Amino acid sequence: MVSCTTVKPVSTTNGNASSSKKSSDSPVFLDQITANGPTVNGRTSSETEKHETKTFRPPLDDFHPRFTIESGTTIQFKYAIVMDVEVERLDNQDLYRFIDSWWGTPYRMGGTTQKGVDCSAFVQTLESVIYGTNLPRTAREQKSSCVIVSDNELKEGDLVFFNTKGGVSHVGVYLTNNKFVHASTSGGVMISDLDDGYWHSRFLGAGRYKSGTAMK
């Protein structure tokens, strides 16, 4: 039995569906981003390189003391814009390269490849490749393999669960700044915000995978 059975409303030209949708819900958005094109904190990345050559400091100095704007990669600039965060916060470049390689992969119930994937298979693959964890296959099983994580303790790699069609029926991977990556039925692999009305109203909670433990 496979999870992810809901369809999130999307905008249409005839007005029958939702009249608005977040820009982050469109995979096409990423195709328009390059390291030298869009702005970061009001400047293009090339302008930033000219004017801000010193090492970034607070509030992340303890975690990224050697990061400089010159060392930022295209992936970091690209997803800093999508995530609405400082470039230096995206230090796990393997994670964002993985997301980039799967971006826009269409949703397919039971699918496990880049030809089509469902939410739990995408999460299972990401967690295995990036974090070396061995999650079970379905969203419900994945939730049962986690310990509860409160909203204010969420960390990159935690799982976020939703009730989209009865019980635990959708799952994604938390990133940062309230954003999570998932395989959506409406747009395939994308990044969404937990504060988005659709996801906020269906949010069941978050979990952190711990072998041999279970979410109560």
d(CA 54, CA 200): 39
Contact 123, 209 (CB under 8 A): no
Take residue 22 and report the two structure tokens written for it.
Answer: 């977040």
Is 146 part of the annotated catalytic residue set? no
**If you compute the radius of gyration of the chain from its CA atoms, what whole number of angstroms results?**
18
Take residue 7 and report the two structure tokens written for it.
Answer: 């369809």
Q: Looking at 4, 64, 170, 200, which residue is catalytic? A: 170
- List CB contacts of 88: < 8 A, sequence separation 6 or more: 56, 60, 64, 67, 72, 76
Take residue 177 and report the two structure tokens written for it.
Answer: 């700044």
Is 4 part of the annotated catalytic residue set? no
Is 182 part of the annotated catalytic residue set? yes
Q: Looking at 4, 64, 119, 200, which residue is catalytic? A: 119
- List CB contacts of 151: < 8 A, sequence separation 6 or more: 206
Residue among 71, 108, 127 at smallest CA distance from 189: 108
Q: Looking at 4, 51, 182, 200, which residue is catalytic? A: 182
| Beta strand spans in 108-194 (E) | 112-113, 116-117, 146-149, 159-162, 170-174, 179-184, 188-193
Catalytic residue ranges: 119, 170, 182
